[in-house]
Structure 1
Amino acid sequence: MAMIRPEVLAALSRWREALAGLALAALGLWAALGSFGILAWLGWAAVAAGAALVFAGIQRGRFRGRQGGPGFVEVVEGRIAYFGPLDGGAVALSEIEELRFDPSGAPPVWVLVQQGRPPLSIPVNAAGADALFDIFATLPGLRTGHLLAELEKGGRSPVVIWEHPSRLARRPRLH
């Protein structure tokens, strides 16, 4: 049995959706260019689906990849739970008022702010933290491009990634 180096396996796992999208697009292109009629149309549909999967896979690949951090994350039915060696907690997606990224610690953390309760800090490299991308993407008005840019940029101070629309409406306007 051929052995795959752990680094290669980790890279393939990180970019798995994008690689599957490339394979689907290539198969669709082969079918579209090599046939006529309905098979050609199905081939072009597979190319479009593969391109969408590549786009989504690149976003997910940019988010995941950091592993080996303290604790683990569990996402069940819209509830995020973090179980760490020193602290932890849980928050419902509907209760999140603000999402921050704090790169100042080692490791950097996601900070989930909820009203009337202490913030929940989750290391970006905790086991299962890659599931946070999908749940964060459901926050109304969240720009995933901004989230990924801040994650990759690093920085030195906390930055607000998202605020609940009702919280923004309550903020006094200066102009």
Structure 2
Amino acid sequence: MADFFRPEARAFLWRWREVLAAGAVAIFGLWWGLNATGMNVWLGYLIVAIGVFWGAAAVQRARFAGDGDGPGVVQVRERRLAYFGPLDGGIMDVDDLTQLTLDPTSHPDPSWILSGVGGQRIAIPVNAAGADDLFDIFAGLPGIKTAAVLDVLERTPDAQVIVWSRARPVLH
């Protein structure tokens, strides 16, 4: 069965699997809402709403996900981000993150540059294995707009772009 789909089609379906599942939930809820009676009609429409909201979030996550063929591995455990690359790497707490930059000029692939407290910097290729987990980390940053992150990632600018920066506290 693994040979039934071409590798490109299999990769496409795998990348968009959550969107397909959300669509199936929405279709099931619509069927339920149209064929049920009494209070069950509203339950079907509630399932449609859940499928639609889930699908909207899944589309953003699928747009962010890379192919995972880039150098290195990203791991996220208990709000601690770790990148293990062939030449460099690092570990940073998500709460210590002060700036997020996209560097399209890095070699061999564009990279996310994460800057932390005390000048710590980690460069993570956008297509590293596990880099799709970064979407949830980035979405949780205060004041970030995920649509802006996706737009910068898709249009690939010519120079570094600061996508997010933490507001510096005023000391006095």
Tell me which residue corresponds to 2:131.
129
Gaps of 5+ in 1: 171-175
Q: Which amino acid aligns with 1:117?
A: G
Deviation at 1:42, TM superposition (A): 1.1
Tell me which residue corresponds to 2:53.
52
Distance 2:66 2:126 in 1: 9
Where does 1:16-95 land on structure 2 (aligned, <5 Å)? 16-95=17-96
Deviation at 1:13, TM superposition (A): 1.3
Deviation at 1:126, TM superposition (A): 0.5
Deviation at 1:59, TM superposition (A): 0.1
Tell me which residue corresponds to 1:102.
103
Distance 2:167 2:37 in 1: 50
Deviation at 1:12, TM superposition (A): 1.1
- Contact kept? 1:17, 1:56, Cα under 8 Å: no
Where does 1:91-170 land on structure 2 (aligned, <5 Å)? 91-105=92-106, 106-166=108-168
- Contact kept? 1:20, 1:53, Cα under 8 Å: no
Deviation at 1:5, TM superposition (A): 1.8
Deviation at 1:36, TM superposition (A): 1.1
Deviation at 1:69, TM superposition (A): 0.4
Identical aligned pairs, as a percentage?
46
Deviation at 1:30, TM superposition (A): 0.5
Deviation at 1:119, TM superposition (A): 1.0
Gaps of 5+ in 2: none
- Contact kept? 1:101, 1:161, Cα under 8 Å: yes
Structure 1 residues 65-74 or 45-54, which shifts more? 65-74
- Contact kept? 1:99, 1:112, Cα under 8 Å: yes
Deviation at 1:9, TM superposition (A): 1.4
Q: Which amino acid aligns with 1:28?
A: G
Deviation at 1:34, TM superposition (A): 1.0
Q: Which amino acid aligns with 1:110?
A: W
The CA RMSD over aligned residues, in Å, is: 1.4
Tell me which residue corresponds to 1:173.
none
TM-score by length of structure 1 reads 0.92
Q: Which amino acid aligns with 1:128?
A: G
- Contact kept? 2:33, 2:43, Cα under 8 Å: yes
Deviation at 1:114, TM superposition (A): 1.1
Which deviations, in whole Å up to 9, do the C-alpha atoms of 1:73-96 show, x marking residues without a partner? Answer: 000000110000000001100101
Structure 1 residues 140-149 or 9-18, which shifts more? 9-18
